[in-house]
Amino acid sequence: MEKRQNKIERIIAKSFKGKLDSKEQVLLDEWLSLSQENKRKFEIYEKLWKRSGELIVSNTIDVEASLLKTKKRIPDFRFKRRSVLGKLRVAAVVILTMGLGFLFNYLLGANDLINGTPETVYQEVRASYGTRTKLLLADGSTVWLNSGSTLRFPIDFDKAEERVVELNGEGYFDVAKNESKPFIVNTPGLDVKVYGTSFNVSAYDEYDSMEVALVEGKVSLVQGEKGNRKEYMVLDPNDVVECNISEKRLSRVSDSKMSKYTAWKDGQIVFYGDPIEKVVNRLEKWYNVDIEISDKALENYRFTATFNDETLEQVLKLLSLSSPMEYKIVTSKKMNDNSFSRRLVVLSIKK
């Protein structure tokens, strides 16, 4: 026999889809009239349903929206690795929604939303390798995620004193202005604090450095939680700051060629006087390969090029034509678990 709680949850879910029959509508109305607590539960569920439908992921190419990991937990303002619940591949604009049955079961496990103060509910979106993902946050801010990047964010900023999101990878942020509620981007290195501006952050947790490029407005690099936050540097437009995480060292330059840092969101790979290390990092993420530099002499060379939809082989060939570099591509190998390793690219000096 179906438990009453499960039955009510099923009826609530159907009501949001407009699929209740007359008998179910009567049961829902009766349940709502029983107590203010039931009405409050319904309002919470309805809000979550609406928010999950407002999240938009759009892409001109395939999107792997490794979604939606709805998390019921108090934010610790740090990014942690998490497994992906599900993957959905689409080729246009996708409205991200989730079944309320799953949502109820997940959220009601500890009843924290029902018998106390509601905790923040999170969603997580990931851009697969070779793709770009665009999403709209609840406050009106727009975020582009680059290949292999993950953003974890609240479905609602209404009751928060700060708009805090967690980034692992590269993201371009166009933040809705709100001077009373700062926007904080947590990364594996330093955090970026803004009130309303446009900027690019590259902060993959497997790399020992992060980079922030400010297009317009003003941001600051900070560390720590609200009330105990230390500010390290304030950036002006065209400032680019690189942070060496292990050495705790910041370096800032002014660069008028912002497209070098932001063109990826429009499908371009741009190098302008970049060292081989930055070229390698960009190509590894874009094409989901491992790249090995076998000759340290390549570290002395700088690369300038713009690529639009070229294959990995085409990019490597063009780079080798303008430098003494040559390359070898090692094909994927089948692993013991029947998965395949990533392709390996070995870079060396031409003999």
One domain, residues 290 and 171: no
What confidence score (pLDDT) does residue 33 get?
83
Mean pLDDT of the chain: 78
Whether 97 is covered by a domain: the verdict is yes
Over residues 3-57, the pLDDT tens digits come to 555 577 778 877 877 778 888 888 888 888 887 777 877 777 776 665 544 433 3
Over residues 299-312, the pLDDT tens digits come to 889 999 999 989 99
C-alpha span between 282 and 272 (Å, rounded): 13
Domain-terminating residue out of 206, 228, 254: 254
One domain, residues 245 and 273: no
User: How many domains are contained in the chain?
Assistant: 2
C-alpha span between 324 and 303 (Å, rounded): 11
Whether 49 is covered by a domain: the verdict is no
Whether 4 is covered by a domain: the verdict is no
Taking the mean position of all CA atoms in its chain, how far away is CA 289? Answer: 20
SS3 label, residue 226? coil
C-alpha distances in angstroms, 56 versus 22, 128, 131, 138, 340? 33, 16, 16, 10, 32
Residue 184 has pLDDT above 60, yes or no: yes
One domain, residues 101 and 156: yes
One domain, residues 105 and 204: yes
Whole-number percent of the chain with pLDDT over 90: 42
One domain, residues 157 and 223: yes
Whether 167 is covered by a domain: the verdict is yes
What confidence score (pLDDT) does residue 60 get?
31
Nearest to 236, CA basis, from 260, 222, 256: 256
Residue 215 has pLDDT above 90, yes or no: yes
Residue 322 has pLDDT above 50, yes or no: yes
C-alpha span between 220 and 222 (Å, rounded): 6
Residue 334 near residue 343 (C-beta atoms within 8 A): no
pLDDT classification of 326: cutoffs 50, 70, 90: very high
Whether 48 is covered by a domain: the verdict is no
What confidence score (pLDDT) does residue 312 get?
93
Residue bearing tokens 């959905």: 88
CATH number for the domain harbouring residue 90: 2.60.120.1440
What confidence score (pLDDT) does residue 159 get?
83
One domain, residues 299 and 166: no
Whether 225 is covered by a domain: the verdict is yes
Domain extent for 316: 267-349
Taking the mean position of all CA atoms in its chain, how far away is CA 102? Answer: 23
Residue 222 makes CB contacts below 8 A (sequence gap 6+) with 184, 190, 191, 192, 193, 229, 230, 231, 232
Say whether pTM exceeds 0.85: no
Lowest mean pLDDT among 30-34, 95-99, 195-199, 227-231: 95-99
247-251: average pLDDT = 87
Range 199-231 burial, b when 16+ CB lie within 10 A, else e: bbbbbbbebebbbbbbbebbbbbbeeeeeebee
Which value, to the nearest 10 degrees, does the dihedral of the CA atoms of residues 185, 99, 52, 205 take?
10
Nearest to 176, CA basis, from 139, 228, 211, 124: 139
CATH number for the domain harbouring residue 338: 3.55.50.30
Structure tokens, 66: 């490794």
Q: By 3-state DSSP, what share of the chain in percent is helix, strand and coil, each rounded to 5? A: 25, 35, 40
One domain, residues 130 and 227: yes
What confidence score (pLDDT) does residue 5 get?
59
Domain-terminating residue out of 232, 254, 276: 254
One domain, residues 185 and 292: no
Domain-terminating residue out of 203, 221, 254: 254
What confidence score (pLDDT) does residue 50 get?
59
One domain, residues 211 and 305: no
Query: Could you give the angle at the alpha carbon of 332 between the alpha carbons of 310 and 342, nearest 5°?
Result: 70
Residue 207 makes CB contacts below 8 A (sequence gap 6+) with 281
Q: Is 34 left (phi over 0), alpha (psi -120 to 50) or beta?
A: alpha
One domain, residues 154 and 234: yes
| Cβ-based burial of 339 (10 A; exposed 0-12, middle 13-18, buried ≥19) | exposed
Over residues 125-153, the pLDDT tens digits come to 999 888 899 999 999 999 999 999 999 99
One domain, residues 232 and 335: no
SS3 label, residue 305? strand
What confidence score (pLDDT) does residue 49 get?
63
Which has more confidence, 63 or 149?
A: 149
One domain, residues 290 and 328: yes
Whether 311 is covered by a domain: the verdict is yes
Which has more confidence, 186 or 337?
A: 186
What confidence score (pLDDT) does residue 18 get?
76
What confidence score (pLDDT) does residue 48 get?
63
Whether 306 is covered by a domain: the verdict is yes
